[in-house]
Structures are given as structure tokens and as C-alpha cells.
């Protein structure tokens, strides 16, 4: 049989390199957007896995969702963020709790609830990111040279 496409390992390597390049050339705000996008995909994927009875996929998706939430929690600047930072920390703690409950009880609706919160946050961060891009274009700044969080 002739294989005209790339092997699966080659495709994963290319995708991984693309992802790494995208992360390295992103602004801190764009990185937050990417984290929320990944979190939303994992929450929805976890809910689908629960509904279909795929416990292995559920475990993978919810573990990754928790990793993203912990990354978001760890990236908060509590000194400069003030009350907003504290509220986000509380929301992230709630999300971690609900994801854990959903995993233990196989409760897809709990993941749907968390996904609604993430969708709201993602929308707000996308708006901020777009505004920053427009501002940078107006000032002729190169946004790819900004400092990245850890």
C-alpha cells in the first residue's frame, strides 16, 4: 500500500513545532487566550467522554483541564491584580472543585457549567487581546517581542 501522506509521528512533530512557535511568538495576553481555548476544548471533550462512557478519554481530558486551571491560577499577579486577581483565584478554585466532582460522579453537567464560565472569560480576554493588537498597530509596535510569562 502506498502512503502518500505523512506518517502520524511526522504530523505530530510538525504540529508540535507549530504549536511551540505559536507560543513563543505570542504576547502574554494571547497566551492566556490559548490557555482558555485549551481549557474549553478539554472541558467539552471531557463532557462528551462522560456522555459516551469513554472513561479513558474523560481521565485524559480532565487531567489536562486541571493542569490548565492550575497554570492560570499560578499565573495570577496577586500584588498588582488586587481584587480582580483574588476573584479569579476563587473562581479557579471553584472550577478545580467542580471538575473533580464531575470526574468522580461522572457528571457532564458540572463540566458544562464550568465551560460557561470559561466561555465568558475567553470572550473577555479575546476582546482585550484584539484591543492590544489594534493599539500596537496604531503605535507601530512589534508585539511579538514582548516578555512572556514563565
pLDDT, position 148: 46
Which domains are present in the chain?
28-136 (1.20.120.340)
Q: By the 8 A CB rule, do 148 and 31 touch? A: yes
The mean pLDDT value for 123-143 works out to: 83
Report percent pLDDT > 70 for the chain: 76
pTM (2 d.p.): 0.78
Residue 4: predicted pLDDT: 47
**pLDDT surpasses 70 at 11:** no
Residue 145 above 90 pLDDT? no
pLDDT at 24 over 80: no
Average pLDDT for the chain: 86
- Triad 137, 28, 80: Cα angle to 5°: 110
Amino acid at each position: 500500500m502506498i502512503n502518500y501522506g505523512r506518517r502520524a509521528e511526522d504530523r505530530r512533530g510538525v504540529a508540535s513545532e507549530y504549536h511551540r512557535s505559536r507560543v513563543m511568538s505570542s504576547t502574554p495576553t494571547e497566551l492566556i487566550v490559548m490557555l482558555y481555548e485549551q481549557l474549553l476544548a478539554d472541558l467539552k471533550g471531557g463532557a462528551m467522554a462522560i456522555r459516551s462512557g469513554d472513561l479513558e478519554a474523560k481521565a485524559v481530558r480532565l487531567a489536562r483541564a486541571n493542569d490548565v486551571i492550575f497554570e492560570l491560577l499560578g499565573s495570577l499577579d496577586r500584588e498588582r491584580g488586587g481584587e480582580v486577581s483574588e476573584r479569579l483565584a476563587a473562581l479557579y478554585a471553584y472550577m478545580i472543585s467542580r471538575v473533580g466532582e464531575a470526574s468522580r460522579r461522572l457528571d457532564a453537567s458540572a463540566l458544562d457549567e464550568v465551560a460557561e464560565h470559561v466561555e465568558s472569560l475567553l470572550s473577555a480576554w479575546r476582546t482585550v487581546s484584539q484591543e492590544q493588537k489594534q493599539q500596537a498597530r496604531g503605535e507601530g509596535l512589534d508585539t511579538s517581542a514582548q516578555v512572556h510569562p514563565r
